[in-house]
Amino acid sequence: MTKPQILRTVAQVRQWRRQALLNNKTVGLVPTMGALHRGHLSLVGQSLSENDHTIVSIFVNPSQFAPHEDLDKYPRTVDEDLAKLEGAEPVLASASAVSRQVSAVFIPKVSEMYPSGITMDVSQQKGAFVSVVGLSEQLEGVTRPQFFRGVATVVTKLLNIVTPERVYFGQKDAQQCVVVKNLVRDLLIDTEVRVMPTLREPNGLAMSSRNAYLSQHMKDESSVIYQALTRGEKYYLNKSSGDVGVASLEIIDEIRSELASKNGFKIEYIAVSDPNTLEDLSVVVPGTGAIISTALRVKNEEGNEMRLIDNVCLQ
């Protein structure tokens, strides 16, 4: 088993990429903020099965955190992450990929990614930033206004550095996927955006690095989120038929009543949206598809509040 190369500078990644190109090898990129779990490894497995080389980036990107958010305490577990990437058989890797290993891991410093410097205060930031207008002012963008500008910026930088044939994201962060697809299309970036299904804990809770902030009890309680979303999905499936749609408000009411069964969950939003534009849908019609997404705040035993997001797709 060969260990992945650890690359720390943009120049090292470019050199590695040039070599792959010279050898006529395809490259898949899996961008992450580390604290890897099976959800991340499923993206890695998919990339291994579709590309000759897979590069994983581990970078906790400051520009997508607001000053009051958890940048400083975001879980940083690089040694464990590397062990998982070196050793673990990537989840869902197809038979043809089993013999493949992650080729490289890019772990840059903030100064490498932001050569003009960066501060947490958006008004003080220097250098170029990428905004995806419209899409990033909805849903997640309402409570995290800096989030999509930060994500769009860092993903553009990563795509410029790596120029991968394919880049992999998780459906759990549904709005992020739509924002990235739009920026790749509008900035004419030559890469295919692959969106992979959400991996869940046995109780249905979507796997997430920030779940590390939750006690087992809170994790159990939080399984209500997926139960509520699937209740909305079932309601839609039972009521829709042929080309007869279902009012979004009815679906949202179903979800809200399931969530109301738990105390201490503050709903930020429940939305039924067009999967491509993320515009609110008043009716879901079979065949057109929709995303039902939600964000909630939960308190752990220490009284610290944290935010969980999840979604399901309707066909």
Ligand X SMILES: Nc1ncnc2c1ncn2[C@@H]1O[C@H](COP(=O)(O)OP(=O)(O)OP(=O)(O)O)[C@@H](O)[C@H]1O
**Phi, psi angles (nearest 5°) of residue 106:** -100, 120
CA dist 184 and 155 (Å) reads: 10
Q: Counting contacts by CB under 6 A, is residue 173 touching ligand BAL?
A: yes
Which CB sits closer to ligand X, 138 or 248?
Answer: 138
Binding partner selected for residue 101 from ligand PAF, ligand BAL, ligand X, none, CB under the kind-specific 5 to 8 Å limit: none
Long-range pairs for 202-206: beta carbons < 8 A, 24 or more residues apart? 204/230, 206/39, 206/172, 206/308, 206/309, 206/310
Write out the binding residues for ligand PAF, residues 174-213 only, by CB under 6 A: 176
Q: How many CB atoms lie within 10 A of CB 182?
A: 20
Q: Counting contacts by CB under 6 A, is residue 310 touching ligand X?
A: no
Q: Counting contacts by CB under 6 A, is residue 81 touching ligand BAL?
A: no
Q: Counting contacts by CB under 6 A, is residue 138 touching ligand PAF?
A: no
Binding partner selected for residue 232 from ligand BAL, ligand PAF, ligand X, none, CB under the kind-specific 5 to 8 Å limit: none
CA dist 125 and 227 (Å) reads: 41
Q: Counting contacts by CB under 6 A, is residue 310 touching ligand BAL?
A: no
CA 173-158-79 angle, to 5 degrees, is 75
Contact 125, 119 (CB under 8 A): yes
CA dist 89 and 44 (Å) reads: 10
Q: In whole angstroms, how close is the CB of 30 to ligand X at the nearest point? A: 7
Which CB sits closer to ligand X, 4 or 39?
Answer: 39
Q: Counting contacts by CB under 6 A, is residue 10 touching ligand X?
A: no
Write out the binding residues for ligand PAF, residues 46-75 only, by CB under 6 A: 61, 64
* Residue 37 appears among annotated catalytic residues: no
Contact 59, 106 (CB under 8 A): yes
**Piece in contact with ligand X (CB under 6 A), picked from 94-102, 170-178, 264-272, 289-297:** 170-178
**Piece in contact with ligand X (CB under 6 A), picked from 36-44, 215-223, 252-260, 279-287:** 36-44
CA dist 145 and 150 (Å) reads: 10
Q: Counting contacts by CB under 6 A, is residue 33 touching ligand PAF?
A: yes
Binding partner selected for residue 154 from ligand PAF, ligand X, ligand BAL, none, CB under the kind-specific 5 to 8 Å limit: ligand PAF
Q: In whole angstroms, how close is the CB of 173 to ligand BAL at the nearest point? A: 5
Identify the active-site residue in 40, 53, 68, 217.
40
| Total residues in contact with ligand X, by rule CB under 6 A | 18
Binding partner selected for residue 43 from ligand X, ligand BAL, ligand PAF, none, CB under the kind-specific 5 to 8 Å limit: ligand X
Q: In whole angstroms, how close is the CB of 64 to ligand BAL at the nearest point? A: 5
Q: Counting contacts by CB under 6 A, is residue 60 touching ligand X?
A: no
Residues that bind ligand PAF (CB under 6 A): 31-33, 61, 64, 151, 154-155, 173, 176
Residues at the interface with ligand BAL (CB under 6 A)? 64, 173
Residues identified as active-site: 40
What residue ranges bind ligand X (CB under 6 A)? 32-33, 39-40, 42-43, 169-170, 172-173, 196, 198-199, 206-210
